[in-house]
Structure 1
Amino acid sequence: MNDSSKPASPPEPIETLDAIVGFFATEPRRNAGNDADIETESEAEQSDVDDIPKVFARFGVEHYSRNPDTGKIVRLEPTFHSLVAHWEAAEIIKKKFRKGDSFIAQGMVKVSKKTGKEYFEVKQIGHNTRRTRYEVDRSHRTRHLAEQRSTTDRASGVGQERAATSAVGSQHQPRRISPSSAVQTGIAR
């Protein structure tokens, strides 16, 4: 039972954006090409800055339906849409994605003022783990956490032996990171 006379503050709302699961139908490119309506829209928003990293592409979304007679899942024709990405998302797409790659992206659906067509503006993007095989390299994060722990241990007066044991143990055991420590280690956005 809470004996406090202060009412509990409401929890902070969870920030959400739209998300899509799709595949690159075209090679990501730095200019809009046939998607000139998107480039015009982006340029209007960023009118005086031409050196912003930008990427444009067409992407497909797969659709499925259950056959009412057989109960089996039937793959339908994909639908195709446009996307645009700026800044870090654009750099990630150019560096890590090619035509045909499957992805999960977070962002916003926008409508071109010029043509009235929808496009997806990517804020964050990553490979779809259900469709892409890859290895995760945690060596940088592990070293950073080990260095941070040893610095904290030295500052708090804990011996070097514990710091060394902590650094060795952290390489083999995953650690859950709280939101506050994630910001300190650079994991959070």
Structure 2
Amino acid sequence: MAIQTQQAFSGFIASDPQLSETENGDARLYMKVGKEHYRQEQDGSFTQLETTFHHLVAFKAAAEQGAERLAKGDKIVAEGYVREYRYQDANGQNIEGEEFIARRIGHDLARTRYEVDRSSRRSSGRESAAFDAPESRSVSQPATVSM
């Protein structure tokens, strides 16, 4: 089976995360995120280029957990996809843009120090099952017949 992959974003949270609800009552988390860009020079040094800013949105459990654990300034990684949008604002102006829809989001381990709480998550009602690696099976060789 092929490894399933998605797009990823790494950067920092540039605005205070805002938790709201969609029309059908699902949690929605919005934040502005920044992406620092660098250029490697011929001598091996790096020059920082202009930082770009983007919209990031998460829904449901990712939104709820993100609202509890993330804050402006945090270094993050997110998995998801880019969605383009178009709408007309109240003044009749056509607005176009893109946003990163994060299916999973968390702190960037390479750029964040924190402690992990490995106590049971039973209180959340979302107990995850432990992963057991499949047992390796030895392949039996067919019996050889001697004549």
Instruction: Give me the CA root mean square deviation.
Output: 2.5
**Which residue of the partner structure matches residue 46 of structure 2?**
73
Q: Hey, what's the Cα distance between the residues in 2 that align with 1:26 and 1:179?
A: 43
Q: Hey, what's the Cα distance between the residues in 1 that align with 2:81 and 2:131?
A: 30
Q: Give the count of matched residue pairs.
A: 120
Q: CA deviation at 1:176?
A: 7.8
2:67 pairs with 1:87: no
CA deviations over 1:127-178 (Å, ceiling 9, x no partner): 001111012233438xxxxxxxxxxxxxxxxxxxxxxxxxxxxxxxxx9842
**Which residue of the partner structure matches residue 12 of structure 2?**
23
More helix by share: 1
Aligned AA (2:74): D
**Which residue of the partner structure matches residue 178 of structure 1?**
133
Could you tell which deviates more after superposition, 80-89 or 59-68?
59-68
Task: Sort the Cα spacing of 1:111 and 1:136 in 2 relative to 1 into closer, same or farther, 3 A.
Answer: same
Residues 1-189 of structure 1: pairs in structure 2 closer than 5 A: 12-31=1-20, 49=24, 51-68=25-42, 70-114=43-87, 115-140=95-120, 177-178=132-133
Q: State the secondary structure of the residue aligned to 2:83.
A: strand
Q: Hey, what's the Cα distance between the residues in 1 that align with 2:63 and 2:131?
A: 29
Task: Show structure 2 runs of 5+ residues with no match.
Answer: 88-94, 122-129, 136-147
Normalization by structure 2: what TM-score? 0.72
Task: Show structure 1 runs of 5+ residues with no match.
Answer: 1-11, 32-38, 142-174, 181-189
Q: Percent identity?
A: 38
CA deviations over 1:8-27 (Å, ceiling 9, x no partner): xxxx2221110010110000
Q: Hey, what's the Cα distance between the residues in 2 that align with 1:179 and 1:94?
A: 36
Q: Hey, what's the Cα distance between the residues in 2 that align with 1:178 and 1:126?
A: 25
More strand by share: 2
Normalization by structure 1: what TM-score? 0.57
